[in-house]
Structures are given as C-alpha cells and as structure tokens.
Amino acid sequence: GAVVSQHPSWVICKSGTSVKIECRSLDFQATTMFWYRQFPKQSLMLMATSNEGSKATYEQGVEKDKFLINHASLTLSTLTVTSAHPEDSSFYICSVVGGGYNEQFFGPGTRLTVL
Amino acid sequence: AQSVAQPEDQVNVAEGNPLTVKCTYSVSGNPYLFWYVQYPNRGLQFLLKYITGDNLVKGSYGFEAEFNKSQTSFHLKKPSALVSDSALYFCAVRDGYGNKLVFGAGTILRVKS
C-alpha cells in the first residue's frame, strides 16, 4: 500500500494562532486525499475531501473558512486550522486514495493541542 | 446511506483464546468492507478488505474476516489472541461508486495474559 506521512506529529499552540498540518503521499501520486478528525475514544469524522488542483469539498457542519485545505500537488495536501481555539484540539488524520480498488491509506496522524 | 455498526464497545479475551469483533453494515449496491486497527496516538493500519470473491478473507497479523451477505456482517476473527493485539479496531464500508469510507464507532480489544 501507499506510504503516507504527516507533519508535524504533534503541535501545541496558543489560542488564536493558526496551525498548518501537512499530508504527503511518499510513493505515488494522489489526486484525492481525505482529512479526518478524531476525538478521544471516538471514531473518525470525515472533514473534507481534498482534490488536487481544485477546491476541497467539505462535509456538512465543517467550516471551510476555519479549516483551510490546499492540495497544490499530487503528493501534498495541507490543512490549516485558522484562529485555533481549545475546542479545535483533536487528532487529525489524512488519507490518500489509490490502488486498484481506490483504497484509502492513512497517515500517522497529528495531535493538535490548543491552549 | 451507508452505515456501519460495531455493537461492542469493548471485547475482552484471554491470550491464546479465539477472538471475534463484530461488524454489521448497510449499503446500497455491492459493499467494499475494511478492517483497520489503531494503536494509541497512531493512524489507522489496514488489516484486510473484502471486495469480491471468497467470503473468508485473510489479512495481516493472523486476522481474518467472514463476509456474510444474508446477515450483512463482516466479523473480524483471530484463532489465538496475543496481548499485542490489544488496540482499537474499526470496521468501515464503502459502496462501489465513491471513495468515501464510513466508519463504525470502533471496538476496543483487550487481550489479557
């Protein structure tokens, strides 16, 4: 399967600042990536679908101006949490779509803590 | 709409005993079914998938799952549990038309020595 990296693996920031999380597909070109958030002991919630060269598609209830997604190349998608607040603290996971059956391969996740 | 149910929040099993983690699904069309495992503060690791073919699917780390169309189930099994299998397990489903996965709530597996 595909190898996916995320950077940083964890980040602590002050309330009101913006944080950028990178998702990289290391061994193949991904036209589609997904961004999820996960609260402690809960399932993954799909936030948005990131398509290379076009605007991201956000799930209902996800603020697109709050969570900016850029998919500028076939190997990199970024999620920027703007004006972060403590309620944005979560585990953010990306995935890339590939393989013969359009499978998803997941990154290791980024732990965001907003103080 | 697609949905996945994992009826057990937690499964406890003794090391060496067989384990089963249950999953039922609902999807229009042919289901693509997946099992993932997550260790603390880590992303999801792929275990196995059912796309088509044999109902018994073998995956990583000795896990297998049985697809049952009539019961719309895809239970995860392992003949002999290890303490290192303790983790959070997610079942997921996708229909044949799109890329989006729908995840179950997850089941914590605890294997005690």
Q: Which of B44, B51, B103 sits opposite A101 (nearest CB)?
A: B51
Looking at residue B41, what is its pLDDT?
80
Phi, psi (rounded to 5 degrees) for A80: -110, 120
What sign for the dihedral angle of Cα A44, A48, A49, A53? negative
One-letter identity of residue B16? G
Residue A56: which region, alpha, beta or left (left: phi > 0; alpha: psi -120 to 50)? beta
Residues B18, B69 contacting (CB under 8 angstroms): no
Looking at residue A39, what is its pLDDT?
86
Residue B75, number of CB atoms within 10 A of its CB = 17
Looking at residue B100, what is its pLDDT?
86
Rounded-to-integer distance, Cα B44 and Cα B47, Å: 9
Per-residue DSSP letter, A35: E
- What are the residues facing A103 on neighbouring strands? A98
A40 alpha-carbon distance from chain centroid: 17
Please identify every stretch of chain A with a pLDDT value under 70, giving residue numbers as ranges.
1, 100-101
Task: With CB atoms and an 8 Å threshold, state whether B42 touches A32.
Answer: no
Looking at residue B86, what is its pLDDT?
97
Distance from the B104 Cα atom to the nearest Cα atom in chain A, whole angstroms: 7
pLDDT digits 0-9 by tens, B15-74: 999 999 999 999 888 889 999 999 988 889 999 999 888 999 999 999 999 999 999 999
SS3 at position B11 = strand
Looking at residue A11, what is its pLDDT?
97
Size of interface A-B (CB pairs under 8 A): 49
Looking at residue B96, what is its pLDDT?
65
Looking at residue A103, what is its pLDDT?
80
Distance from the B44 Cα atom to the nearest Cα atom in chain A, whole angstroms: 6
- State yes or no: pLDDT of B99 exceeds 90: no
| Token reading at B113 | 């020595």
- CB-count burial class (<10 Å; 0-12, 13-18, 19+) for A110: buried
